[in-house]
Structure 1
Amino acid sequence: MSQQEIWFVTGSQHLYGEETLRQVAVNSRKIVEALNNAAKISLKIVCMETVTTSDEIFEVCKAANNEDKCIGIITWMHTFSPSKMWINGLKILTKPILHLHTQANRDIPWETMNMDFMNLNQAAHGDREHGFIYTRMGIGRKVVVGYYEDTIVQEKIGRWARVALAAATAKELKVVRFGDNMREVAVTEGDKVEAQIKFGWSINSYGVGDLVARINEVTDEQINSLMEEYEQKYNFAPECDKGTELYEHVREQAKMEIALEQFLTEGKFQAFTNTFEDLYGMKQLPGLATQRLMEKGFGYGGEGDWKTAALTRTMKIIADNKATSFMEDYTYHFNPENKMVLGAHMLEVCPTIANEKPRIEVHPLGIGGKEAPARLVFDGKAGEAVCASLIDMGGRMRLIIAQVEAVEVPHKLPQLPVARTTWKLKPSLEIGAQAWILAGGAHHTVFSHEVTVEDLVDWAEIMDIEYVIINESTDILRLKQDLRTNELIWKLR
């Protein structure tokens, strides 16, 4: 992230004279300095020279395209910048755009304002001219309105910058599949060629034997070192303490974590999938090992679900790896006084969403026919969250985004030794679940307290894919019509 940057491009023209242009440059640098000092913005913003002609605009757009460090541009019209000058540059620009509608001054200087001040500070209509040409050319962009020193404005810019980072790194995202998809399952399938064309993701399969060979190379010294980390970071169930038989099951997960991380790192993979139906040569299904790798920022999808693995990695970038996990809608609580969803998985839920210090436990899995695997057990925390699902509609991808309210797990679950969280669907369980099913949402999702609906819409628009939002305003009849309309629009495209 420290190597990536956003370019800040201010538009003007020579109509107002050199003194005005000098002040435009000074004010632009002041704004960029404030944004770089903002706590909400984690990527570097670079102030470019003010552009005043068609040639200058074309050259800065071409330079942005050719500079790998530049992952997006912010445009701002300090004065009036005739938008026909921008056409040739915008035609070739391939980087995401944020149109910042701000001004150098917060307040109108009522007593001293004259025409010189008005000519200098006319973003109120300069940015409207600029906005028109984006719309006229059909160019997608993010629009942020407000004074640049306001926290909410800085937060919107910072969040968009992380989305732009996720989009920029997509072409480098490599997903490794250990084995194939779970047999006879439809939603985890998909067109991997289309995914690479649309997103840049590279998805390829490796034999489980390749991983087993790496597991067999792990040394006791490596395992001992990682076990010390486990003992410092997590609680251990008494039956898993050092010296017990089950302690060796935990060591097996440490062994798999070391091998998996080496395999992923050396192959430059940022996400992976596996399936309990293909574990030949392995003693356990990777549970704790997978949770730990997600905690480090790797993407994961269960049962060969490579789309969710890639989306997990993408959302972890947007979230700065905070409070984001692979998830599955598992079962409902239909109590009329407290309807909710319980989300979990067999083993693989990321501890970044934990509400407590996770505990390492070992229990039989019941499927897969392997040794009882170790896993981290915890309850998820409460708060606003999203569930997102990426599905292949045959010729196009659809991102489904549900806004949810996570709640504290209301009861102890002594017989369910897996990580879990509970949430309430919006606007209700009945409407939210019905909308999800109508949209074709998968049972696998990415669950996040950190990523917002707006972030995911920004990402979908940058990637130019369809998205469906399920929230407090969802109406089933309207949703059905929107889905029919989307079907026609996206097929025509």
Structure 2
Amino acid sequence: MSSLKNLEVWFITGSQDLYGEETLKQAAAHSEEIAAFLNSNTNIPVQVKFKPIVKNTTEIYDTIVAANTEQNCIGIITWMHTFSPAKMWIRGLQALQKPLLHLHTQFNRDIPWDTMDMDFMNLNQSAHGDREFGFIVSRMKIARKVVTGYWQDEDVLERINIWARAAAAWHDWQGAKFVRFGDNMRYVAVTEGDKVEAEIKFGFSVNTHGIGDLVEEIDAVTEDQVNAILKEYENLYVLNADVSEGGSKRKQVYDAAKIELGLRAFLEKGNYKGFTDTFEDLHGLVQLPGLAVQRLMQDGYGFAGEGDWKTPAIVRACKIMASGYEGANAFMEDYTYHFDPKNALVLGSHMLEVDASLASDKPKLEVHPLGIGGKDDPARLVFNAKGGKALNASLVDMGDRFRLVVNTVQGIDSKEDLPKLPVARVLWQPEPDMKTACSAWIYAGGAHHTVYSQNLTPEYLEDFARIANLELILIDKSTKLDQFEKDLRLSEIYYKMKH
């Protein structure tokens, strides 16, 4: 993924005209120093831009409206250095269209016990001013993240980093386009959804192209292009003799390369950020795209199979949030269980289309029969995924709202060769345990398609869901089924009342 440094958040400090010119100069200098520190911190992936202190209704409104219209501004950070009467903020907050983080801090870490006087108190009263601002934001029911602590503390910087990445993902969704080749897999429920409501609510669009439109791009691929990408495969992957030049299955690799080049050209020309296809609509394709999908996901595109357009969107969002991190965010599916009571495991995969960024070792490029789709044997990358802390997240349409279901898991390094399963394999242990996690997932209506993240924590998705006004259901170490069911019922009531 590309760097997020072209994006910016605005640092807006509240005060009022009451304090006089000298106090306001000090407040501005302090605010500028905090913004510069945040901007220079390597843990925060976006630019933090200082904006002049706002002291009245007009300045607040004008600054927020400017943030709304600045294309690269993905959100605002507010801080009340002094007291800032919150009625001044109403009009500006009514106009706010960007994510909001309220930084509850103060310029000085410690109280200067021996020298503190009333001038110091008047200047450094964030404990006072931030509560006034917090009230009006709560009264107006505006979603925001509140981060409390000294502005140089590592945990404060990390929480700002997480919010900034969530805001960047939300920004990436605005005006994003996802393409659906063909329709939904027949009779499947959870991969369907209201594309119009998604565009209204989330800002991205999903539209269908016939598979013939893709075939035209594939047919336009030249021999030189294919030969160049075949050399790339040879450098990046382990190739057995049957898929190497002159091998019995080289033709299938050649065809897979053409599909990748054509698919990449289609996505680039249409400025798409993700896509979905279905094995039930392959007219004109010689094989189901497998290798092509794996490589495109590794380059940052969102994807899911069988016409599921919601999962490519959340895969893409997670890739943006994790930009620059080690590890991967990949389309995934719970395929089968290992119900050993002492070592219960989920085996995840998806026929062909699992992002090779997950791989623990150099992937193998292989060709094998698929058994569905009725086409030629497809090429794919075969590997085991790295273990470690991870999560699964599923975006589903509940009819009256969208829901994001998240389960924290522990990825497991595979000790089995699985010689007869020539697909990408991912093993994990759900938290808090297999029975609780799987039951809770089913109670919540989570889909079989997910994004599997090796580098995000629930806080990233909590921040993203807050920005997107999206219901989030978390299954983690603390989950107990009896309370979980009650929480689901309460959430149902909340969203029905809200809407």
Q: Which interval holds the TM-score relative to the shorter structure?
A: over 0.9
State which of 405, 422, 434 in structure 2 corresponds to 1:400.
Answer: 405
- Offset at residue 375 of structure 1 (A): 0.8
Equivalent residue, structure 2, for 1:428: 433
Rounded to whole Å, the distance in 2 between the matches of 1:118 and 1:273 is: 58
1:85 aligns with 2:88: yes
Partner residue in 1 for 2:293: 290
Distance in structure 1 (CA, Å) of the matches to 2:22 and 2:358: 54
Given the alignment, which residue of 170, 183, 190 partners 2:173? 170
Q: Does 1:446 align with 2:461?
A: no
Shift of 1:164: 0.7
State the partner residue of 1:367. Answer: 372
Q: In 1, Cα distance between the equivalents of 2:491 and 2:33?
A: 43
Does 1:48 find its partner at 2:56?
A: no
One-letter amino acid of the counterpart of residue 22, structure 1: K
In structure 2, how many angstroms separate the alpha carbons of the residues matched to 1:30 and 1:128? 23
The reply on whether 1:461 has 2:463 as its aligned counterpart is no
Tell me what 1:18 maps to.
Answer: 21
Structure 1 segment 60-71 matched on structure 2, within 5 A? 60-71=63-74
Q: Does 1:33 align with 2:33?
A: no
Q: CA deviation at 1:338?
A: 0.6
Find 1:235's aligned residue among 233, 238, 249.
238
Distance 1:246 1:155 in 2: 49
Alignment partner of 2:226 out of 220, 223, 228: 223
Match of 1:271 in 2: 274
Deviation at 1:166, TM superposition (A): 1.2
Residue 485 (structure 1) aligned to one of 486, 490, 497? 490
* TM-score using structure 2 length: 0.96
User: After alignment, is 258-267 or 450-459 more displaced?
Assistant: 450-459
Contact 1:194 / 1:395 at 8 angstroms: preserved in 2?
no
Does 1:152 pair with 2:155? yes
Partner amino acid, structure 1, of 2:132:
E
Alignment of 1:93-492 (within 5 A): 93-320=96-323, 322-492=327-497
Question: Do the aligned partners of residues 410 and 125 (structure 1) sit closer, same or farther apart at CA in structure 2, a change above 3 Å counting?
Answer: farther
Secondary structure at the aligned position of 2:399 is classed as coil
Deviates more, 1:285-294 or 1:482-491: 482-491
Amino acid at match of 1:413: L
Find the aligned partners of 1:150 and 1:348 in 2 and give their Cα distance: 41
Q: What is the rounded CA distance, in whole Å, between the counterparts of 1:449 and 1:362 in structure 2?
A: 27
CA–CA distance in 2 between the matches of 1:38 and 1:85? 32
DSSP-derived class of the 2:79 partner: strand
- Let me know the Cα RMSD of the aligned residues: 1.3
> Residue 5 of structure 1: CA displacement?
1.2
Contact (CA 8 Å) 1:331, 1:343: kept in 2 or not? yes
**1:172 alignment partner, SS class:** coil
Instruction: State the AA in 2 paired with 1:205.
Output: T
Mapped to 2, the partners of 1:7 and 1:91 lie a distance apart of: 17
Counterpart amino acid of residue 168 in structure 1: H
CA distance in 2, matches of 1:108, 1:236: 65
Cα distance in 2 between the residues matched to 1:145 and 1:251:
56
CA–CA distance in 2 between the matches of 1:356 and 1:214? 33
Kept in 1, the 8 Å contact 2:162–2:459? The answer is no
Deviation at 1:327, TM superposition (A): 0.2
Tell me how far apart the structure 2 counterparts of residues 102 and 250 of structure 1 sit (CA, whole Å). 57
Q: Distance in 1 between matches of 2:454 and 2:106?
A: 33
Q: Distance in 2 between matches of 1:146 and 1:422?
A: 38
Aligned-partner residue type, residue 42 of structure 1: P
Task: Give the secondary structure class of the aligned counterpart of 1:403.
Answer: strand
Question: Matches of 1:298 and 1:221 in 2, distance apart?
Answer: 25
Q: Distance in 1 between matches of 2:494 and 2:35?
A: 39
| More off after superposition, 120-129 vs 37-46 | 120-129
Distance 2:338 2:69 in 1: 53
Give the distance between the partners of 1:412 and 1:92, measured in 2 at CA: 57
Give 1:242 deviation, angstroms: 2.0
Equivalent position SS for 1:204:
strand
Amino acid in structure 2 at the alignment position of 1:36: N
Cα offset for 1:460?
1.2
Contact 1:240-1:250 within 8 A present in 2 as well: yes
Runs of 4+ in 1 over 4 A off after TM superposition: none
Give the TM-score, by structure 1 length: 0.97
* Distance in 2 of aligned mates of 1:29 and 1:66: 22
Q: Secondary structure at the match of 1:252?
A: helix
Distance 1:96 1:43 in 2: 14
User: How many residues are treated as equivalent by the alignment?
Assistant: 493
Residue segments in structure 1 that go unaligned for 5+ positions in a row: none
Distance between the aligned counterparts of 2:466 and 2:225, measured in 1? 44
Deviation per residue, 1:228-269 (Å, 9 max, x gap): 222222222333222212222112111111100110110111
Identity among equivalent positions (%) equals 54
Q: Following the alignment from structure 2 to structure 1, what is the Cα–Cα distance between the partners of residues 382 and 129?
A: 56
Say whether the 8 Å CA contact 2:356–2:363 is kept in structure 1.
yes
Secondary structure of the structure 1 residue equivalent to 2:174: helix
Question: Separation in 1 of the partners of 2:50 and 2:349?
Answer: 46
Q: 2: CA distance between counterparts of 1:61 and 1:171?
A: 18
